[in-house]
Amino acid sequence: MDFSAFSGFVAGQWGYLGILVIQLISSSTVFLPLPGLAIIFLYGAMLNPYLVGLFAGTGAAVGELTGYAIGYGGHKLILRTSKNKKIADKIRRLFRRYDYFFVIIFFSAIPFPFDIIGVLCGLSKYDVKRFFVATFIGNSIKFSVVALAGFYGTTWVLKMFGG
């Protein structure tokens, strides 16, 4: 069974909770994109698009903790060489100098390969609670916009064809 068939089954049977699970799985696959946005677009047309955005944002925020954990857990492995230690120190200084909370929100709110941001946040030992809240806010914004596009786009197409 491919992912889109699985996701259709899960979201159809479980509703909003299914959307949360789908986005959790989609976001936890580090560096391997899965069709999460397309699914949110479709279910935005069938369910309340604002709730779709919130549930999808929650699932994505939990799923993004995978990239964070890789950076956090791989900290010692990555920092074995002095060159990597210097790079990690620069990243830490940037996170201390600037509050990356809004940067994380921005990058999670746009269709951007966010996994590298999660790994960098884990590597620099950025506060996991702040990381989670920022990714939740950014992803909820992104998925609400996509769900609303599905809601209004589908309505528009149906009206065009007399449905």
Average the pLDDT over 83-109 and give the result.
76
Residue 152: phi, psi to the nearest 5?
Answer: -75, -35
Domain boundaries, the chain: 3-160
The pLDDT score that the predictor gives to residue 84 is 66
Q: In the predicted model, is pLDDT for residue 92 greater than 80?
A: no
The pLDDT score that the predictor gives to residue 163 is 59
The pLDDT score that the predictor gives to residue 56 is 95
Instruction: Please choose, from the candidates 134, 126, 82, the residue with its C-alpha nearest in 3D space to the C-alpha of residue 107.
Output: 134
Q: What percent of the chain has pLDDT over 90?
A: 30
The pLDDT score that the predictor gives to residue 37 is 83
Tens of pLDDT, residue by residue over 114-130, are 888 888 888 888 899 99
Helix (H, G, I), strand (E, B) or coil at 56: helix
Tens of pLDDT, residue by residue over 43-62, are 888 899 999 999 999 999 99
Helices and strands (DSSP H and E) totals, the chain: 9, 0
Q: What is the pTM of this model?
A: 0.79
Amino acid at 132: F
Three-state secondary structure readout of 63-127: HHHHHHHHHHHCHHHHCCCHHHHHHHHHHHHHHHHCCCHHHHHHHHHCCCCCHHHHHHHHHCCCC
The pLDDT score that the predictor gives to residue 117 is 85
